[in-house]
Amino acid sequence: MKGEKYLFVVSGPSGTGKDTVVAKLLGSHPEIEKTVSATTRTMRKGEVNGKNYHFLTKEQFETALAEGNIVEHTCYCENYYGTLRSEVERHMEQQIPVILVIEVEGAGNIKRMYPGSTTIFVMPPDMKELEHRLRYRGTEAEEIIQKRLRRAETEIARSADYDEHVVNDVVDTCAEEIYSIIQKRIAEPDAE
């Protein structure tokens, strides 16, 4: 489909630094945007509804799904997360490079639906550092941290399916590596 090359999917285990790296990238390169997903999880301190996510109730999420407004979704650690169709289509139509920060199930679904998209897996330097970052962020209870760490192993096991791999050791370096991937891809001819 025309415009697929403008879609960039970023995944990686919780706490690896995806949001930090993507925020840095968007700050340095304002021509790149990020989709705002819908979720049923509770808002973290500092998050803004409509900016970080569209925070929905379970009923609102299920209605959006039934109405076909969500292009892919998953249940991650007992909450729904989904990409809005309008977000993906707008960026493809307007040829604006856009990043979808989503987990591995969703990444696979997007790649199947839009084969011209580019999937990028962000690895932590090692598992000890991942655990440290997840705890240091201080946003989740211990039980959730444990769930997310268990899920991290399954996610890393699927990283080979991704088109590109980067390691988030230093935020700025990782952000620039993703920027290079984006620049290279959008310079390629668009599929019809």
Which stretches of the chain bind ligand ADP, using CB under 6 A?
Answer: 12, 14-20, 133, 136-137, 168, 170-171
Q: Tell me: does residue 158 bind ligand 5GP (CB under 6 A).
A: no
Residue of 55, 51, 22, 30 whose CA lies nearest to 168? 22
Contact between 105 and ligand 5GP (CB under 6 A)? yes
Q: In the complex with ligand 5GP, which residue's Cβ is closer, 37 or 177?
A: 37
Decide which of ligand 5GP, ligand ADP, none touches 135; Cβ closer than 5 to 8 Å per partner kind: none
Interaction with ligand 5GP in 18-77: which residues (CB under 6 A)? 37, 41, 72, 74, 76
**Does 103 participate in binding ligand 5GP (rule CB under 6 A)?**
yes
CA atoms within 13 A on the CB side of 99: 27
Q: Binding ligand 5GP by CB under 6 A: which of 102, 120, 134, 175?
A: 102
Q: Quick one: residue 107, left, alpha or beta (phi over 0 = left, psi -120 to 50 = alpha)? A: alpha
When CB distances are held under 5 to 8 angstroms depending on the partner's kind, the choice from ligand 5GP, ligand ADP, none that residue 37 binds is ligand 5GP
Closest CA to 151 of 127, 173, 170: 127
Span interacting with ligand 5GP, options 54-62, 102-110, 116-124, 163-171, rule CB under 6 A: 102-110
**For residue 68, what are the contacts with CB-CB under 8 A and spacing of at least 6?**
85
CB atoms under 10 Å from CB of 136, counted, come to: 10
SS3 175: helix
Q: Which is nearer to ligand 5GP, 60 or 74 (CB)?
A: 74
Q: CA separation (Å) from 18 to 2, 130, 190?
A: 27, 12, 27
Q: By the criterion CB under 6 A, which residues form the site for ligand 5GP?
A: 14, 37, 41, 72, 74, 76, 81-83, 101-103, 105-106
